[in-house]
Structure 1
Amino acid sequence: MKTLIIAASQRQDSQSSRLARIVNQRHFEGAADVLHMADKPLPEWDGTGFDREDVKSVKARVNAADALVILVPEWNGMAPSAIKNFFLWNGLAELAHKPALLIAVSASAGGAYVINEMRTSSYKNSRLLYMPEHLIYRNAGELWVSDQPSKSDSYLSARTEYAVSLLKAYAEAMKPVRKLALESLGEFTNGMS
């Protein structure tokens, strides 16, 4: 299974990027492709520029993935603009009926608003298939930083392993469905609202 992990923070050295690397090492044996929004891999959406090499490169990485893990920081109760920009550039061809695991990243006790925002606004036209299971990494700066795992570290490690195992099962099960869905979209390229 090819997995793309997206660290959606626009900040260099963010908790989202640190945790994306940890998730990759622990749960994908370092084999996942990791896309850091802090590296500015895409230009700001303006509806043009689909032939740009940077856009084509990111779209190819997304298209090659069987599944996505999206780590989204909560900034003032919202997802950062870089992840919204990602969904403006990537659509049906790259994302339709592709399973995704959402992980909210919060510096404190938040995170739930990001899960709701992403589920509400990023799947309609892309048809990305968010799993019912999601994760919230609260107090992210304290997560997985010590050689002596805390109760929270252990719980979230086990919960992440559970969610990733489901994601892998979804990815395998959805391959024939994704193929059929892409072949039969026809005139129904936009979701209903």
Structure 2
Amino acid sequence: MELIIVSASQRSPSQSAKVARYLSERVEGFSKVNHIELCQYNLPFWDGSADSKSADDSRWPLIAQQLRNADALVLITPEWGGMASPLMKNFLLMCDNQDTAHKPALLVAVVSGISGAYPIAELRMNALKNNKLVATPDHLIIRNVEEVLNHNDPDDERELHLRQRIDYSLHMLEQYSEALKAIRYRHQNQPFPKQQEYSYGM
């Protein structure tokens, strides 16, 4: 199985990318892990037309191919003003449901302080309607991110608990990935009558 980890900070280097690297090292149930750091791709902002995805020699086709091959995603966004980053929102708007539908996604918020719940709520509420990604029930909020996931052997009890939760969340993402394979297979090979009429959520 293949996993895509998307980090959506508009800065480089970033704490979001640091978290992505840590998660990629902890993954056990996926045979291949790709990290897409969105700020490195200079993607165009989607204007509602398919043509905009490939404008100005966009590298979106490369990302789209990775999404097609993926069995699951991890979506990492910093919290900016209580919101998910513009890069993450643009990425999710550009995702074609033919590439992402019925694939599980672990949502991760990264914040320098003690908040971080708002981006998760935002993504759960309105970011998955048309791309038809399936957010897992568990999510991660990496609070005080500058202070955690920096060393191999932390002695802080809260960080140890965070690392254990990360391992659990990645384990569950693998379980959802295996389970949703059957749904994707039936969706493609035993389609609902006039299935194409329901490509967008209500």
List gaps (5 residues or longer) in structure 1: none
| RMSD, matched Cα | 1.8
Q: Which amino acid aligns with 1:33?
A: N
Q: Which amino acid aligns with 2:176?
A: Y
Partner residue in 1 for 2:198: 188
Partner residue in 1 for 2:14: 14
Q: Which amino acid aligns with 1:71?
A: I
Q: Which amino acid aligns with 2:199?
A: T
How far 1:41 sits from its partner (Å)? 4.8
Instruction: Kindly report structure 1 stretches of 4+ aligned residues shifted beyond 3 Å.
Output: 28-31, 49-53
How far 1:57 sits from its partner (Å)? 0.8
Q: Which amino acid aligns with 2:126?
A: S
Alpha carbons 2:9, 2:16 under 8 Å: kept:
yes
Alpha carbons 1:107, 1:140 under 8 Å: kept:
yes
Q: Could you state the TM-score of these two structures normalised by the residue count of structure 2? A: 0.89
Alpha carbons 2:5, 2:36 under 8 Å: kept:
yes
Alpha carbons 1:10, 1:40 under 8 Å: kept:
no
Q: Which amino acid aligns with 1:138?
A: R
1:35 is aligned to 2:40:
no
Q: Which amino acid aligns with 2:99?
A: E
How far 1:54 sits from its partner (Å)? 1.3
What SS is found at the alignment partner of 1:77?
Answer: coil
Which of residues 109, 131, 139 in structure 2 aligns to 1:134?
A: 139
List gaps (5 residues or longer) in structure 2: none
1:176 is aligned to 2:182:
yes
Q: Which amino acid aligns with 1:176?
A: A
CA distance in 2: counterparts of 1:142 and 1:163, whole angstroms: 21
Distance 1:169 1:41, change over 3 A: farther
Q: Which amino acid aligns with 2:103?
A: K
Aligned counterparts, 1:110-149, within 5 A: 110-149=115-154
Q: Work out the percentage of aligned pairs sharing the same amino acid.
A: 36
Cα offsets for 1:133-171 (capped at 9, x unmatched): 111100000012245411122111110111111100100
How far 1:26 sits from its partner (Å)? 2.1
Q: Which amino acid aligns with 2:197?
A: E
Q: Which amino acid aligns with 1:188?
A: Y
Alpha carbons 1:79, 1:118 under 8 Å: kept:
yes
